[in-house]
A and B are shown apart, each in its own frame.
Chain A
Amino acid sequence: MFQVRIHGRGGQGVVSGAEMLSVAAFLEGKYAQAFPSFGSERMGAPVMAFCRIDDKMIRVREPVLQPDALIIQDSTLLQQVDLFEGLPVRGYVLLNSTHSIDELGLGGFARGPRHYRLHMLPATELAVKHVGRAVPNAALLGGFAAITGVIALASVVAAIRQKFPSKIAEKNVAAATEAFDLAAQTLDTSDA
């Protein structure tokens, strides 16, 4: 089973992101379960959502406590929430930021024997560029497909097209596709 935890703030499409990820996995014939952390539904409040992907039926209903991958939609949460809780060594982290790992002071998490596979992606900028709104979820899913290989970009694209009306869908598809290419490039230059 592959477990994903998405962190963000109310209004950033965290719950929709988990939902689309589960649809993408479903479209590949896998079992998937997505659910929100059911916290306060306020704009700007820290929000979590979870997605599990497996080849067999998923029965467990607890929150994702030991994620294989984290998607962090808002880097300001680094100061507020223990985002890396439960993440094992070599766990994937996809962080929405225009800054580098060292600029954010995360070098210690990215290097050394216990390091995470930490990747930065300017997802908000990609969303603004393609969608015209600062909703980074679709771009991050494109990046997630590139860095983890757990799902194919084509499945992410199909899930986005299921979620949104065609005009908005195509804009999000463009954001996810560019994000995928960007993340694939960073993958080539990192040791992951």
Chain B
Amino acid sequence: MLKQTEGSHAVAEAVALCRPQVICAYPITPQTHIVEGLGEMVKAGELADCEFINVESEFAAMSVAIGSSAAGVRTYTATSSQGLLFMAEAVYNAAGLGLPIVMTIGNRAIGAPINIWNDHSDSMSMRDAGWIQLFAETNQEALDLHIQAFRLAEELSCPVMVCMDGFILTHAYERVDIPTQEQVDAFLPGYQPRQLLDPADPASFGALVGPEAFTEVRYLQHHKQLRAIGLIPQLAAAFSKEFGRNSGGLLRTYRTEDAETIVVALGSVNGTVQDVVDEMRERGVRIGSVSICSFRPFPLAALRAALEHAKRVVVLEKCLAVGLGGIVSDGVRKSLSGIALHGYTVIAGLGGRAITRTSLTRLFEDAGRDELEQVTFLDLNADVVSFELERESKTRRTGPTAEAILRRIGPVAASIG
């Protein structure tokens, strides 16, 4: 059914259609409206055989999720930002144990400085935890990816994060098509656990594993994600057949066929990028873009096939590997091993800074002339940075940086962009 609704609410409805049996979440910031919506549904009795457990922290949320998933029930939680960091230890455990938990990340920045806005720093910090990470471009895709995520997680016995841009998607009202219960039931069978805490057939979970076997357990975790490379496109195709629209997959190309410049990005910024691509194409610029949906596993071969004929690749990243540059760029470079083309990393949208068509157009034109630095910070306020560096060079006791920059910038209520 077509509906104009908030991203968080659309995802809550999708999760409910997946018939979760345990939803455990810490309900306070940095949480989204998703678990609030699910909590209301459980309380109203709209979700049969589902228990909503309010826990005292994100660490507890993932710990309860591990327990309930090991007990053989379909389990869901959501968090973002510092909340994800607080559950980090349990996040690794869920993957190491191979428990098919599905978790939404409403992507947000990580402090300090304190910032509640969108970027990809949170889920990127867990990129090597062993979870599959899928990024949504729109609220429709976020909704659809949750339905695919439960099936993917349960087929592989591997946890899946569905990452959607905080605020930009979670708080945006747009049109979504909410499937029927019958459609979802036809696509997503009941959970058949590979491993189960069962008093009738006792087993121990979480054994101490020494050097004699640790590598093998880890290898099999890696192997599972390599299998996901094949399974993710299959599920996307099956989804398309059942629901009549394309969502998910490893990646999606946009006007890349004869493109000299290809932009690679994750998540909702792809929409803005595609608008800019169209506008530049009208002016005869041979440009295209690639939206990576599956960040873990990283689609090396599919990305290579999409990029190998380009002259240059611009990786637009909403996260920063401090001291290195890009995180996504690392994977992109790896996918292009042995191919000589210009590669640029652009750090953009940190802490919720708007990524505008004007800035992207200028950026892509600079890239087309190969006039970009290896690592560029989009719309960096060079005056403020120079002023602060100058100030720091003059005196020892300079005080906190963030506060000094805020004083320099002045009140922000007056600005729109």
| Residues of chain A having any CB pair with chain B under 8 Å | 5, 18-19, 22-23, 26-27, 31-36, 38, 45-46, 48, 58-63, 65, 80-82, 85-86
Contact = CB atoms under 8 A, between A and B. Distances in A.
B272 A60 contact: yes
Contacts of B117: 38
Contacts of B354: 62-63
A35 B173 contact: yes
A59 B271 contact: yes
B380 interface: no
Contact of A35 (B171, B269, B270, B355): B171
Contacts of B268: 61
Interface string B187-214: 0000000000000000000000000000
Contact of A26 (B175, B271, B275, B355): B175
Contact of B172 (A34, A45, A80, A86): A34
Given A38-B167, A60-B275, A82 B416 contact: yes
A85 B416 CA distance: 7
Interface residues of B, number: 32
15 contacts: A22-B173, A23-B4, A26-B175, A38-B116, A59-B270, A60-B275, A61-B268, A61-B271, A63-B354, A63-B416, A65-B416, A80-B414, A81-B416, A85-B416, A86-B416
Contact of A36 (B171, B413, B415, B417): B171
Nearest to A83: B416
A60 B271 contact: yes
B392 to A, nearest CB: 28
Contact of A62 (B2, B172, B272): B272
B256 interface: no
Given A35-B171, A38-B167, A60-B275, 5 more contacts: A5-B416, A35-B168, A38-B171, A61-B269, A65-B356
Residue of B174, B271, B417 with most partner-chain A CB within 10 A: B174
Given A80-B414, A81-B413, A62 B173 contact: no
Contacts of B335: none
B274 interface: yes
A49 to B, nearest CB: 10
Interface string B1-38: 01010100000000000000000000000000000000
Interface of B: 2, 4, 6, 116-118, 165, 167-168, 171-175, 268-272, 274-275, 352, 354-358, 413-417
Contacts of A48: 416
A91 to B, nearest CB: 14
Contacts of A32: 4, 173-175
A62 B357 contact: yes
B205 to A, nearest CB: 41
A33 B171 CA distance: 10
Contacts of B172: 33-35, 61
**Residue among B270, B271, B272, B415 facing the most chain A CB atoms (10 A cut-off):** B271
A45 B269 CA distance: 28
A31 B175 contact: yes
B173 A19 contact: yes
